[in-house]
Amino acid sequence: MVSVAAIVTVLVAATLLGSVAIVRRLHRPARRWRDRLRSRFVLGVPWGSLLVIAVVLAVYLFVQDGITDFDDPVTIPFRTWSYFYPLGMATASFAHAGPSHLIGNLAGTVVVAPLAEYAWGHYPTGGDAATDGDAGRVASWYENPRFRAFICFPLAVIAVGLVTSLFALGPVIGFSGVVFAFAGFAIVHYPIATIVATLGVQGAVLRLYSALQDPIYVYTAQPSPPSAPSWAGIAIQGHALGLFAGFVLGIVLLERRGRRPDPLRLWLAVLLFGFAKRLWAIYWFGGENTYLLYQGPGVVVVAVLALVVTLAITASERPAIPRRLATGLPGSSGGASEGGSDRAIDRPLELAGDDGDERPVSGRLERVRELAGGTRDQAADGGSLAALSRKQVAFLAVIGVLALLAGVAVPANFLVVEDASASTETAVQIEDYTVEYVEGVPNGLVSGIGIEAIESDEGLESSGVIVASERREVWLEAVSAQRLAVTGEETVSVGGAGWREAVHVERTGWEPVGNDTVYQVWLRPEGGDRRLAHESNESRAEARIAGQNVTLGSEDGEFVLEVTGDGPEPATTAIPAANETATAGGLTFDRENETVYAAADGTRVAVASEETYNGY
């Protein structure tokens, strides 16, 4: 029997295809889209973009082993951990943290990569007269359209990906830096088309994919683990790095072709893109799970950078420093009069005086003038700062922003793992990985070049499942203690190119009435035995029964109830199984479902309840 969801999926696809067919018949442009695309692409197809998408998918499926479990790829070894771990640096820009991360970046690639490829073009002349038949009549291999489509463009994308990995701040993962480079390159050529694509078409593509995948989606509200705000999970530096790399490449191509976009459209496109993609979200970490968002300064930064990029492309070729400031006002062709009355006109940067001697102050001013603008001959020859045009100065500012974005990441990428050896006997060892559960341990990363200023803060402590590897320079809080307290179960996958092994993590606990939970954490390697990794401290219930206290604790993997009162020694018993009873210290404990009750002298009160979780 056909399900309702399947019928809705077919309806969604049919509606969309029908709409496209009807609009296509209504839309009759002077020049067909097919002809436009064939003038720039071999057979009208963006082959380079398709090849790049195939490479990214192949990395996810076969390198990250997403083909085994599409929802849970191996991610830990494919991050930019350190310059001393080349595999992570080489693969981070093409790997992804999960299916939603992958689909989001691929949707962005589908939208902006063809625009960037179209701007560059398979045909080196870029003229509309070029056809597929021109492929055999080229002067060099670089001008061969098929070579440009299948080799040059993909290699350029890979090079940009490696740059964004090498200069990414922190252990990042994802193709988004390259997607932003596509967008930056496309914006300077087609500002309005790129904005429409990134702010409208990309969202439509993602919504269409979601509607086809889950035409009827049911959401049940439930508690969720503590998590950072959405903007704190964005790799702002990596996105900005890719965007400005695209700007620089796009500006260079525009200059070579002698093109100049409309300044208003360009400025508006850069500004809207920066706002929409949250490049204003400059944030930092506060204490006790707090985050600081500097959105006001961030908005100012985006606005200023939009102006700088616009000037770098559309500003005039007039000198950035007016000639009168660099070389002085033009004087008379002859010498000064004997009385010195023309000195103030001929040499305006000198102090006026009665005598003809060179004054020390005027000599210093002349030197300042030379340093600022050079001599007149130098200015004419372009050999000084005075020879730079306003457009060139703005372009140098764009280069400076790119250099700054890249430079801030260099010290952080020299971090290494000081010691990845297990701190507990129950740690799981898989190849070069150590997986363990610990609480209140300092970060294990230190400077790899002996600079104390870039070492990790020893006061920064982590609690949860820690994955470490000295060979890979990996130290990661894979699952926080807070998250595990909510989910109860997690799986941590480690591995390398084409292989993986999983470690299953489980938390069980009991909560004394009115006090902190007592819990245990267990680790179980794939195909191995379950082992106790952590036991929390004991905790006392608030209630007193027959003058005695009940304390809940954990001993060697077993939850126990300890009764203390007037007697010399406390009495203990294990928490009874479901619907069973136990006695200790004159108290009778009986368990009903998830609650343990204590009874004595006709009084019966709840003393503890089993911890419940919301698995994800």
- pLDDT band for position 325 (50/70/90)? low
- Compute the distance between CA of residue 583 and CA of residue 576 in angstroms, rounded to an integer: 9
Res 467: pLDDT: 94
**pLDDT confidence band for 536 (50 / 70 / 90):** very high
CA distance 583 to 575: 10
Mean pLDDT lowest among 66-75, 224-233, 313-322, 510-519: 224-233
Mean pLDDT of 133-162: 81
Q: Are 195 and 273 in contact (CB under 8 A)?
A: yes
Given a cut of 60, is residue 132 above it in pLDDT? Answer: no
> Which residues are 404's β-sheet partners?
none
Least confident stretch, 81-95, 235-249, 289-303: 289-303
What are 511's two structure tokens?
A: 């909560």
Q: Where are the alpha helices (DSSP H) in 99-235?
A: 99-120, 145-147, 153-166, 176-189, 191-196, 202-213
Rounded to an integer, what distance in angstroms lies between the CA atom of residue 395 and that of residue 11? 51
In this predicted structure, the answer to whether residue 266 has a pLDDT above a threshold of 50 is yes
Per-residue pLDDT at 163:
95
- Tell me, what's the pLDDT at 351? 36
Question: pLDDT tens digit string along 491-531?
Answer: 999 999 889 999 999 999 999 999 999 999 999 999 889 99
Element (H, E) at 430: strand 428-430
Amino acid 311: pLDDT: 92
Phi, psi (degrees; rounded to nearest 5) at 182: -55, -45
This prediction has a pTM of 0.80
Alpha carbon 433 to its chain centroid, in Å, reads: 24
In the predicted structure, residue 538 carries a pLDDT above the cut 90:
yes
Residue 292, pLDDT > 90, answer: no
For residue 368, the model assigns a pLDDT of: 44
**If phi over 0 gives left and psi between -120 and 50 gives alpha, with beta otherwise, what is residue 601?**
left
DSSP 8-state symbol, 599: E
Contact of 161 with 89, CB cutoff 8 Å: no
Mean pLDDT of 533-545: 92
- Please give the pLDDT value at position 422: 77
pLDDT score recorded for residue 291:
81
Q: Among 68-82, 111-125, 477-491, 557-571, which is the least confidently predicted range?
A: 557-571
Instruction: Report the pLDDT averaged over residues 14-32.
Output: 75
Residues 381-385 have a mean pLDDT of 51
Higher pLDDT: 457 or 118? It is: 118
Q: Report which of 103, 339, 82, 375 is spatially closest to residue 212, judged by C-alpha positions.
A: 103
pLDDT of residue 248: 96
Mean pLDDT of the residues in the chain: 82
User: Phi and psi dihedrals of 573, rounded to 5?
Assistant: -155, 150
Least confident of 19-23, 50-54, 337-341, 390-394: 337-341
Instruction: Answer yes or no: is pLDDT of 327 > 60.
Output: no
Average pLDDT in the 119-143 region?
A: 61
Q: What is the mean pLDDT of residues 199-213?
A: 83
The per-residue pLDDT for 355 is: 46
- Residues 412-420 have a mean pLDDT of 83
> What confidence category does residue 418 fall into, taking pLDDT thresholds of 50, 70 and 90?
confident
Q: What is the structure's pLDDT at 2?
A: 62
Q: Flag whether pLDDT at 375 surpasses 60.
A: no
Residue 19 has pLDDT above 50, yes or no: yes
Q: What are phi and psi of 332, to 5 degrees?
A: -75, 155
Q: Greater confidence, 449 or 588? A: 588
Residue percentage of the chain with pLDDT more than 90: 52
Average pLDDT over residues 63-75: 93
Lowest mean pLDDT among 23-37, 298-312, 577-591: 23-37
Does residue 183 surpass a pLDDT of 90? yes
Tokens 């001929």 found at: 346
At residue 503, the 3 state secondary structure works out as strand
Q: Where exactly are the structural domains of the chain?
A: 4-221+232-314, 537-610
Residue 134: which residues within 8 A CB-CB, separation 6 or more? 123, 145
pLDDT at residue 373 in the model: 45
- The neighbour count for residue 324, using CB atoms within 10 Å, is 11
The answer, yes or no, to whether residue 360 has pLDDT greater than 80, is no
Q: How does pLDDT run across 225-254, given as a tens digit for each residue?
A: 667 788 777 889 999 999 999 999 999 999
Radius of gyration of the CA atoms of the chain, in A: 34
* One-letter identity of residue 171: P
